[in-house]
Amino acid sequence: MPLISKEKAQALKTLGLGYDATQDDIRSAWKRLAFEKHPDRNTGSHDELTAINTAYSELRNEGAYTAPAHQRRPVLRTQTVDISPDAEAICQSVLDKVNADLASGEMSEDTKVGRADHVPCSLRRRGRNLSYIIRTPLEEGSNRVALPTGALEHSRKVTPKVMTFNSTESGMGKVEVPEDIRATLFPGARSVRIHFGQD
pLDDT of 136: 92
Q: Is the same domain home to 58 and 101?
A: no
Question: Of all residues in the chain, what percent carry a pLDDT higher than 70?
Answer: 81
Residue 32, C-beta contacts closer than 8 angstroms, at least 6 positions apart: none
Task: Point out the least confidently predicted range of 33-37, 110-114, 195-199.
Answer: 110-114
pLDDT of 144: 92
Confidence class of residue 44 from pLDDT cuts 50, 70 and 90?
confident
* Residue 188 Cα to chain centre, angstroms: 11
Residue 98, C-beta contacts closer than 8 angstroms, at least 6 positions apart: 107, 114, 144, 162
Confidence class of residue 101 from pLDDT cuts 50, 70 and 90?
confident
Please report, for the domain that includes residue 61, its CATH number.
Answer: 1.10.287.110
Secondary structure letter of residue 97 according to DSSP: H
Domain end (from 55, 71, 87): 71
The answer to whether 146 touches 91, Cβ cutoff 8 Å, is yes
Domain end (from 71, 90, 124): 71
Secondary structure letter of residue 140 according to DSSP: S
pLDDT of 20: 81
pLDDT of 194: 94
Q: Is the same domain home to 57 and 103?
A: no
Host domain of residue 28: 6-71
* Helix/strand/coil for 93: helix
d(CA 155, CA 111): 30
Q: Is the same domain home to 18 and 84?
A: no
Question: Of all residues in the chain, what percent carry a pLDDT higher than 90?
Answer: 21
Q: Is the same domain home to 146 and 95?
A: yes
On whether residue 1 sits in a domain, the answer given is no
- Rounded to 5 degrees, φ, ψ at 35 are -75, -45
Q: Is the same domain home to 66 and 87?
A: no
pLDDT at position 40 over 90: no
d(CA 153, CA 28): 38
Give alpha helix (H) positions in the chain.
6-14, 23-36, 46-61, 85-104, 179-185
Residue 17, C-beta contacts closer than 8 angstroms, at least 6 positions apart: 25, 26, 29
Domain end (from 26, 44, 71): 71
Confidence class of residue 114 from pLDDT cuts 50, 70 and 90?
low
Residues in the chain: 199
Integer angstrom CA distances of residue 178 from 39, 118, 120, 170, 192? 62, 18, 18, 20, 8
Model pTM? Answer: 0.58
Confidence class of residue 72 from pLDDT cuts 50, 70 and 90?
low
pLDDT higher at 149 or 167: 167
Quote the number of domains for the chain: 2
